[in-house]
Amino acid sequence: MIYNQNDIENLETRFRANLINSLGGFKSIVLIGTKSLQGNENLGLFSSLFHIGANPAYCGFIVRPNEEKQNTLGNILNTGQFTINHVLPDFYKQAHQCSAKYNEGISEFEKTGLTPQYIDLIEAPFVEESNVKFACELAQKTNIELNGTTLIIGKIIKIIAPDSCILTDGFVDLEAACTITCSGLDSYHRTNKIGRLSYAKVDREIKEI
Amino acid sequence: MIYNQNDIENLETRFRANLINSLGGFKSIVLIGTKSLQGNENLGLFSSLFHIGANPAYCGFIVRPNEEKQNTLGNILNTGQFTINHVLPDFYKQAHQCSAKYNEGISEFEKTGLTPQYIDLIEAPFVEESNVKFACELAQKTNIELNGTTLIIGKIIKIIAPDSCILTDGFVDLEAACTITCSGLDSYHRTNKIGRLSYAKVDREIKEI
């Protein structure tokens, strides 16, 4: 099937949302934990997390102008902190439920049964059930005026991962950590490793490592 | 294992690169096809593609200031067009090889054996071996001054996907399309569906769809 620009613009809204959200391929799916200045905990589901740099360690994600995402955004802007928590098969339904439009002041932790966890001096809550998780401080907020979304860039200031999942070269075995992936707006997937490949050079054949 | 901010800053460079690149979870892995003003084809491997909006249909990705990514960036800025092509298990090694630092003017298509494909009036090459692929026109370039990277936002103007993979609600079954995912800098994975979930609402239990 080929969709041209006119076709895309004329698609039924929900069909287009499913189609366009599928095009990005398999995506990261994480729960972002924040706390309001009043002390209310919030947990939001995001599928747009991406790597920006390793040194300094930066990541970014997009906040859509939906009501339920504005609590996450507001808390980050007010407190400068957030946590990012990988999702496991054991609690993917609870994670999905965190995308519902709860009013400000309602904790998704309470509503879903996920457990807030506080580690050292980080004021935003982690998800205790997550294996791989990290804390960020707000590094930059950029408005994307094309469509009213917001790019949040975080500096990674604390990382938690099971010892057994961190290989000697720093690679985290996300399958061993039970991290899952998602596609489209609502589909969740486990993974099976095909292979790790050596660093690519122009004059050398790559091999499995 | 817990890494604090000082630990992260003091890690050995390669260890840190592997660790930080793993934290984003499973990621989209795509080949971006471009053509220079002189007509040279280029194919670059990117793992930072993310969804920005469905209407208008926008996606974004980060270009690191590495030599081999600058050809992709230059071509996009000069021609305003690029294609995004999903990766299959059949050619994941060729896709990985596209991350080697080939000089400008050297075609990764020729070096890897992947096949350039031209569809309708799109001037940038698609990857014939890909099942799900789409073309974008440059919508916005934003410099991320924190670390010298560049955010490119594309407007999706043409979509190609196998009929059999597009469900009646617009969701693309990426497993049926054999799209793969990646983690870290160099690990590739197939997926196994756990489930699709209904739209989450505050007052209704979610169910599998």
| Each residue's pLDDT tens digit, B76-95 | 999 999 999 999 999 999 99
- Whether residue B27 lies inside any domain: the answer is yes
Which candidate from B64, B102, B187 shows the least CB-CB separation from A196? B187
CA-based torsion, B44, B49, B52, B56: positive or negative: positive
pLDDT of residue B139: 98
**pLDDT higher than threshold 90 for residue A104:** no
Any CB–CB contact under 8 A between B118 and chain A? no
Burial of A120 (0-12, 13-18, 19+ CB in 10 A): exposed
CB contact under 8 A, A4 and B158: yes
Q: Which of A69, A181, A201, A204 would you mutate first to test chain B, the one with the most B CBs within 10 A?
A: A181
Residue whose token pair is 């002041």: A105
Amino acid at B22: S
A55: number of Cβ within 10 Å = 13
**A to B CB pairs, distance under 8 Å:** 359
Q: How many independent structural domains does chain A possess?
A: 1
- Whether residue A197 lies inside any domain: the answer is no
CB B79 within 8 A of CB B37: yes
Q: Which of A66-70, B19-23, B136-140 has the lowest mean pLDDT?
A: A66-70
CB contact under 8 A, A199 and B186: yes
pTM value is: 0.97
Any CB–CB contact under 8 A between A207 and chain B? no
Report d(CA B171, CA A22) in Å as an integer: 6
B68 — pLDDT class (breaks 50, 70, 90)? confident
CB contact under 8 A, B190 and A191: yes
CA-based torsion, B123, B126, B131, B134: positive or negative: negative
**pLDDT higher than threshold 80 for residue A97:** yes
CB A63 within 8 A of CB A74: no
CB contact under 8 A, B200 and A97: yes
Residue whose token pair is 């596209």: B98
Q: What is the Cα Rg of chain B in Å?
A: 18
Compute the average pLDDT of residues B54-62: 97
Any CB–CB contact under 8 A between B73 and chain A? no
pLDDT of residue B104: 85
A16 — pLDDT class (breaks 50, 70, 90)? very high
- Whether residue A181 lies inside any domain: the answer is yes
| Tens-place pLDDT, residues B17-47 | 999 999 999 999 999 999 999 999 999 999 9
CA distances from B118 to A25, A42, B74, B177 (A): 22, 47, 20, 20
| Tens-place pLDDT, residues B141-151 | 999 999 999 99
| Parent domain of B105 | 23-189
pLDDT of residue A77: 97
A69 — pLDDT class (breaks 50, 70, 90)? confident
Compute the average pLDDT of residues B198-202: 95
CA distance B167 to chain A (A): 9
- Whether residue B4 lies inside any domain: the answer is no
Note the Cα B39 to chain centre separation in Å: 22
CA distances from A136 to A160, B133, B183 (A): 12, 33, 20
Any CB–CB contact under 8 A between A22 and chain B? yes
CB A79 within 8 A of CB A27: no
Residue whose token pair is 């079954």: B173
**pLDDT higher than threshold 90 for residue B72:** yes
Question: Which residues in chain B are closer than 8 Å to A50, comparing Cβ atoms?
Answer: 24, 27, 48-50, 61-62
- Whether residue A127 lies inside any domain: the answer is yes
| Tens-place pLDDT, residues B109-125 | 999 999 999 999 999 99
Q: A123: alpha, beta or left, given left = phi > 0 and alpha = psi -120 to 50?
A: alpha
In this prediction, the answer to ipTM > 0.85 reads: yes
A156 — pLDDT class (breaks 50, 70, 90)? very high
CB contact under 8 A, B158 and A3: yes
- Whether residue B196 lies inside any domain: the answer is no
Question: Which residues in chain B are closer than 8 Å to A9, comparing Cβ atoms?
Answer: 55-56
Report d(CA A106, CA A111) in Å as an integer: 8
A68 — pLDDT class (breaks 50, 70, 90)? confident
Contact residues for B175 (Cβ-Cβ < 8 A; gap 6+): A189, B190, B191, B192, B193
Compute the average pLDDT of residues A30-38: 97
- Whether residue A78 lies inside any domain: the answer is yes
Alpha-helix residue ranges (DSSP H) falling in chain B: 5-10, 13-23, 67-79, 92-97, 108-112
pLDDT of residue A66: 77
Burial of B40 (0-12, 13-18, 19+ CB in 10 A): middle
Percent of chain A at pLDDT exceeding 70: 100
CA distance B33 to chain A (A): 15
Which candidate from B18, B132, B170 shows the least CB-CB separation from A169? B18
- Whether residue B178 lies inside any domain: the answer is yes
Residue A59's H or E segment, with its range, is strand A57-63
Which candidate from B2, B111, B146 shows the least CB-CB separation from A153? B146
CA distance B38 to chain A (A): 22
Q: What is the CATH number of the domain that holds A60?
A: 2.30.110.10
A194 DSSP assignment: E
CB A47 within 8 A of CB B51: yes
pLDDT of residue A125: 98
Q: Which of A12, A15, A16, A19 would you mutate first to test chain B, the one with the most B CBs within 10 A?
A: A19
**Residue length of chain B:** 209
**pLDDT higher than threshold 90 for residue A46:** yes
- State the average pLDDT for chain A: 96
A128: number of Cβ within 10 Å = 14
Q: What is the Cα Rg of chain A in Å?
A: 18
CB contact under 8 A, A96 and B13: no
B65 — pLDDT class (breaks 50, 70, 90)? confident
Compute the average pLDDT of residues A11-28: 98
